[in-house]
Amino acid sequence: MATQKKGSSDKIVLSTTLRRETGKKVRKLRKEGIIPANIFGRDFASRSISMTVKNFIQAYKKARATGIIYVSLDQESIPTLISNIQRDPIRDSVLHVDFRKVDLKQKIETAVPVTFIGQSEAVSVKGGVLITQSDHLMVEALPTDIPSRIEVDLTKIKEIGQEIKVSDLAKSTTFEIKEEPNKVIVSVTEHKEESVVPETTVEAPEITTEKVPEAVEGEAPTAEGATVPAATPAPAAGEKKDAKPEQKPPEKKKK
């Protein structure tokens, strides 16, 4: 693991002014090339400030995310770290900046970006796929000892399936990585080709017709072609159903 930090001689100063504009008036400041910002910190009264776009860009290019910026406000020089930058989602222009006031004599925790150097043999020769799982690591250090980045050497990964964890990084005498030792930073996995499933044409079900056997008179066909007795036909109009034979009255005996 290699780290890069700025020397104490690289003091970055950002000129600012106290800001009283709020709400819709802040939009007017942005149109004039002014960026609104705040300074906050422990045991520090939050202050609203503003600065020119030019001055901020110059300071940010030197400090990046982990460098100390001395905010010049009236007669004060306030040591700060950039806590957050709000950008326009379309233009990517800076809309607002939050500065965190720090005590140069007390250690703090902050996120440091990870930079990958070299090339893994498992990728370039054996066709593996590089998977980045951590692009920032939390570190604890004095504000002036915070590295600008933590470099991870990919040449140490020789085989597919290998990975680099926090525990694999070299220890530093100026800062401590505040992450779980088994946290994976980067790994190489096997390249898997996606299987292409051929399109299948769904055919319409075949419709077959069977000839229904002719029914024998007095019989009706069943679904399987068997016959069952046909129903007795209904009597014709005016015809009596189940008519009984006419009975003659009994004859009287002659005396």
8-state DSSP, 72: E
Distance CA 18, CA 24 (A): 17
**Would you tell me which CATH number, out of the four given (2.170.120.20, 2.120.10.10, 3.30.565.10, 2.102.10.10), belongs to the domain 109-189?**
2.170.120.20
Residue pLDDT tens, the chain, 255 long: 656 555 445 799 999 999 998 888 899 999 999 999 999 999 999 999 999 999 999 999 999 989 999 999 999 999 999 999 999 999 999 999 999 999 999 999 999 999 999 999 999 999 999 999 999 999 999 999 999 999 999 999 999 999 999 999 999 999 999 999 999 999 999 988 765 666 665 565 555 555 545 544 444 444 444 444 444 444 444 444 444 444 555 555 444
Domain 7-102 has CATH 2.40.240.10: yes
8-state DSSP, 43: T
Task: To the nearest 10°, report the CA torsion of 154, 160, 165, 168.
Answer: -60
Residue 211 has a pLDDT of 52
Distance CA 116, CA 171 (A): 17
Residue 191 has a pLDDT of 85
User: Which tokens go with 236?
Assistant: 């014709």
Q: Where are the domains of the chain?
A: 7-102, 109-189
Encode burial over 232-250: b for 16+ CB neighbours within 10 A, e otherwise: eeeeeeeeeeeeeeeeeee
Residue 10 has a pLDDT of 73
| Residue ranges of E strands in the chain | 2-4, 12-18, 34-41, 44-52, 69-73, 76-87, 94-101, 108-117, 129-132, 136-141, 149-153, 163-165, 175-177, 184-189, 219-221, 227-229
Q: What is the pTM of this model?
A: 0.68
Residue 91, SS3 per DSSP: coil
